[in-house]
Amino acid sequence: MIEVQDVTKSYGTTTAVDHVSFTVNKGEILGFLGPNGAGKTTTMRILTGYMPATSGTARVSGFDVFKDSLQVRRHIGYLPEAPPVYADMSVQSYLEFVLRIKNVPSEKHAARVDDALAKTNLGDKRHELIKRLSRGYKQRVGLAQALVHDPEVIILDEPTVGLDPKQIIEVRNLIKALAGSHTIILSTHILPEVSMTCDRVVIINKGKIVAVDTPQNLTSQLRGGQRIHVETQAPEKQLQEVLSKIPGASRVQVIASGSDGHVSATVESAQGQDVRSQITAQIVQKGWPLYELRGLNLSLEDIFLQLTTDDAAHAQPSN
Amino acid sequence: MRSIYAIYRKEMGHYFVSPIAYVVVGLFLILCGFFFNLYLSEAIRASMEAQMQGAQFGMPANFDVPSEVIRMFLGVLALFLLFFIPMVTMGSYSDERRRGTMELLMTSPITESQIVLGKFFASLTLFAVMLLPTASYILFMWFKSEPMPPVRVAATGYLGLLLFGGALLALGQFLSSLTENPIIAAVLTFAAFLLLWALDFGSSGAAGTFEQVVHYLSVINHYQGFTQGVIDTSALVYYFSFIALFIFLTVRSVDSMRWRRA
């Protein structure tokens, strides 16, 4: 659906986007993750036909973004970082204007406006002037304009910025509901958002792609193994011995938690080795209470920081 | 075509919602009314004097009040436009860029030409609306004068005014597209108009070839004929070329926004 091949964008001596390549399949939600200034917005602007790339090609729905720019723009809905709204217009007239410039025939306008308003929960603000709306509502109008012409591809630049927690959940649900029938690229700083909504993630830093994968793969690959956290009540030395004896356990670290007499331990195992059942068995056998047993995965936050602070060209497993 | 209309409609909506348009048009009409009244009284007084003199010396009085008033009135109107049009055009593109809506327009299936034409025609319509009440003064004078001169004279005058205004609007829009700041656009446009006026003023009497060329290029020069009821084809060609040139430059300028940083 979307193919980006070796796209570069430079302004004089600065390179904003550096030989970036990735694809997005039909119906997929791709997350674009990166620090400020990484090149996310620039890449999106190239895809939406706003600006041309310095070199490389990009295709959306089979059309080249440079050669068939007008065609590409027919198939795309775009929400830039700041919602591109006309403050003096009412929500309804604004959406109708957008429909007109997106070449949607007038018979369909009423239905499409109703649909967009319903999806973004703006029904009761239909006749309200946009300048009277709060920031969160303006953001929703921006979202509505990206959807109103029912485009195949939707590109969202930080769609949940400025929204309250309830609205954020609504937007994420909306995005998930749109997947399948629409192909979506969304950029964000909010890491949990990526793991919650996206099928795949592209991590970009300083114009270069640093990682492309599913959120789950990224977290497990990078970790290079499993970590189990167990909480019980036992003499520390004994706990250390017992846990270390478990086959597959590579490193055991016991910490006394002090106040309630509980003792917790972290057991590391090689990738693919699930030692949880054995931990449980051992502890129960010794007659110790088992308060908590959970897996600790490297969060996407950790990966993100690691990848973007190391200046790594590819993901590196941690020790 | 529909896209041009969509932009046109949006622009018209904005003009009639923004206080700037009302203030500009209001002030303009107040000034016009004042000057029309002034010229009319002056012309009537002068014609009565001419009549008395004619009676004294036995010569027929030949003072065409309506034509004189039209000529002077349209002349001063053109001067007003040099001040008022920058205020109309200053926000055309700069507002869009500041609001971020330029990004919406540039990522929609609409060409730069369609955007520029839509905005231009909207500003032209606003201009025509601004002129309409003044036409009523002229008509009033026309029907009250005996004998009634051919309407052609008034109609030609207004045609010239429309072309002259159209040229200034095209130039003003072009200058607005160069900056994000409407004040800078207004100042630039005003300065450009002053420069044009000075060129005209400076070169009108001159005999040298260079001065004559400059005078030919003057926007105001070609307007004079219209105020006297003359439709000069060279003037028509001049204005259409002028407008076409600046519309073209505006399209290029809008396109260049795609290449600018951020």
Across the range B49-63, mean pLDDT stands at 73
Q: Which of A52, A74, A84 sits opposite B109 (nearest CB)?
A: A74
Q: Which of A48, A52, A82 sits opposite B107 (nearest CB)?
A: A48
Q: What is the pLDDT of residue A94?
A: 96
Across the range B103-129, mean pLDDT stands at 94
Place of tokens 């420069």: B195
Say if CB A311 and CB A252 are below 8 A apart. no
Pairwise CB contact (< 8 Å): B101 & A85:
yes
CA distance B251 to chain A (A): 15
CA distance B94 to chain A (A): 13
Q: Which residue has the higher pLDDT, A264 or B58?
A: A264
Q: Which of B3, B17, B107 sits opposite A88 (nearest CB)?
A: B17
Give, to the nearest 10 degrees, the angle between helix A135-147 and helix A165-178: 10
Cα B59 to chain centroid distance, Å, stands at 40
Q: What is the DSSP letter of B155?
A: H
Q: What is the DSSP letter of B262?
A: -
Q: Which of A50, A89, A93 sits opposite B107 (nearest CB)?
A: A50
Say how far apart CA B42 and CA B23 lie, in whole Å. Answer: 29
Q: What is the pLDDT of residue A299?
A: 64
Q: Which chain B residues are closer than 8 Å to A70 by Cβ?
A: 109, 111
Please report the DSSP string for B163-218 in residue order. HHHHHHHHHHHHHHTT-S-HHHHHHHHHHHHHHHHHHHHHHSS--SHHHHHHHHH-
Burial of B165 (0-12, 13-18, 19+ CB in 10 A): buried
Above 60 in pLDDT, residue B237? yes
Cα A41 to chain centroid distance, Å, stands at 14
Above 70 in pLDDT, residue B43? yes
Say how far apart CA A165 and CA A177 lie, in whole Å. Answer: 18
The alpha-carbon radius of gyration of chain B (Å, integer) is 21
Say if residue A317 is preceded by a cis peptide, omega within 30 of 0: no
CA distance A31 to chain B (A): 21
Above 70 in pLDDT, residue B261? no
Please check whether residue B47 touches A, CB under 8 A.
Answer: no
Say how far apart CA B96 and CA B102 lie, in whole Å. Answer: 5
Question: What mean pLDDT is reported for chain B?
Answer: 85
B167-226 pLDDT per residue, tens: 999 999 999 999 989 999 999 999 998 888 887 777 666 667 777 777 767 777 777 777
Say how far apart CA A3 and CA B260 lie, in whole Å. Answer: 25
Say how far apart CA B242 and CA A3 lie, in whole Å. Answer: 44
Q: What is the pLDDT of residue A312?
A: 40
**Residues of chain B above pLDDT 70, percent:** 92
Nearest to B142 by CA among B44, B224, B70, B228: B70
Place of tokens 């348009």: B21
pLDDT tens by residue, chain A, 319 residues: 899 998 999 888 888 898 999 999 999 999 998 888 888 999 999 999 999 999 999 999 999 999 999 999 999 999 998 899 999 999 999 999 999 999 999 899 999 999 999 988 898 999 999 999 988 889 999 999 999 999 999 999 998 887 888 888 888 888 888 888 899 999 987 777 787 888 999 988 888 888 888 887 766 655 556 778 888 888 888 888 888 888 877 778 787 766 677 888 888 777 666 778 888 888 888 888 888 888 776 666 666 776 666 544 443 333 3
Instruction: Please give the helix or strand (H or E) that residue B250 lies within, else none.
Output: helix B233-256
Pairing of strands A153-157, A76-79: parallel
A287 sits in the region (left: phi over 0; alpha: psi -120 to 50; else beta) called left
From the candidates A69, A75, A101, A145, which should be mutated to test the interface with B, based on the most B CB atoms within 10 A? A101
Above 90 in pLDDT, residue B147? no
Say if CB A8 and CB A55 are below 8 A apart. yes
Strand partners, A58: A4
Across the range B103-109, mean pLDDT stands at 93
